[in-house]
């Protein structure tokens, strides 16, 4: 499935795709996976392919925002074409609206939540509220954790001191949590990621500065 996903534009790395696949395979048969932020469908095809083998439902939420970075309506067309090409169009329910608009109307149980939507602090804070639909033992994965400022600050303010999510670890910037009361050592392990975050921020600053002088070659880390 990675061979297919790698042809789709996106930011998910191969080892992160493996982690997503493994997490999706752990969802109970007939369970529900919700993905916030699908873009062209790189992570969606991984989730849907893994879920299909277990009879799990996949809901993809993305308003396909306009702009240089995410591409708007053209990205939705690309998303649908990519799912078609993977033979997974019918395996995914697309909700093309912002996650924050959908959440107040949502009523169903979620078994696995993948957060990779808008990366500002306020949106991520709101996306973390989707965890209230997940029973104990359910899974939450967050992309660009300890990399993006907005994502990381939201995790530090709302997960680190909270009592709902236990930090399990990360694959690059893909952080994994379990819905369970955290132990002190889980909080310490989250704090232990801060030097890596600072390292990522430092690299981003250097790359941004380089771009001011016309250097275009290197993408941001994670
Ligand atoms: C980083 S991309 C997602 C990448 C995708 N998971 C992948 O593996 O390629 C972020 C996506 O979030 C979407 N997005 C922006 N605001 C959103 C919101 N409020 N709710 C859900 N998705 C949003 C954007 O349209 C964009 O497609």
Using CB distances shorter than 6 Å, the residues near ligand 1 are 10-12, 36-39, 42-43, 61-65, 70, 98-100, 116-118, 123
Q: How confident is the model at residue 183 (pLDDT cuts 50, 70, 90)?
A: very high
CA torsion sign for 140, 141, 143, 145 is: positive
**106 neighbors 126 (Cβ within 8 angstroms):** no
Residue whose token pair is 């992160």: 16
Q: What is the C-alpha radius of gyration for the chain, rounded to an integer number of angstroms?
A: 17
Q: Can you tell me the mean pLDDT for 90-99?
A: 97
For ligand 1, pick from 2, 11, 37, 115 the residue to mutate: most ligand atoms within 8 Å of CB: 37
70 against 212, higher pLDDT: 70
This prediction's pTM? 0.95
Q: Which two tokens stand for residue 202?
A: 């430092």
**In this model, does residue 217 exceed pLDDT 60?**
no
């Amino acid at each position: 499935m990675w061979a297919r996903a790698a042809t789709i534009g996106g930011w998910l790395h191969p080892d992160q795709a493996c982690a997503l696949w493994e997490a999706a395979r752990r969802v109970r048969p007939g369970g529900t996976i919700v993905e916030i932020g699908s873009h062209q469908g790189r992570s969606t095809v991984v989730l849907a392919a893994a879920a299909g083998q277990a009879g799990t439902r996949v809901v993809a939420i993305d308003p396909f925002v306009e702009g240089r970075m995410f591409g708007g309506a053209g990205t939705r067309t690309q998303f649908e074409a990519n799912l078609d090409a993977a033979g997974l169009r019918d395996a995914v329910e697309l909700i093309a609206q912002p996650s924050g608009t959908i959440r107040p109307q949502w009523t169903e149980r979620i078994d696995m939540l993948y957060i990779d939507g808008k990366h500002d602090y306020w949106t991520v804070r709101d996306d973390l509220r989707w965890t209230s639909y997940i029973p104990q033992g359910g899974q939450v994965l967050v992309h660009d954790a300890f990399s993006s400022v907005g994502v990381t600050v939201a995790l530090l303010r709302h997960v680190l001191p909270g009592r709902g999510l236990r930090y399990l670890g990360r694959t690059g910037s893909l952080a994994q949590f379990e819905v369970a009361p955290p132990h002190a050592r889980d909080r310490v392990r989250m704090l232990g990621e801060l030097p890596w975050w600072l390292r990522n921020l430092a690299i981003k600053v250097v790359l941004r500065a380089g771009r001011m002088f016309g250097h275009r070659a290197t993408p941001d880390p994670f």
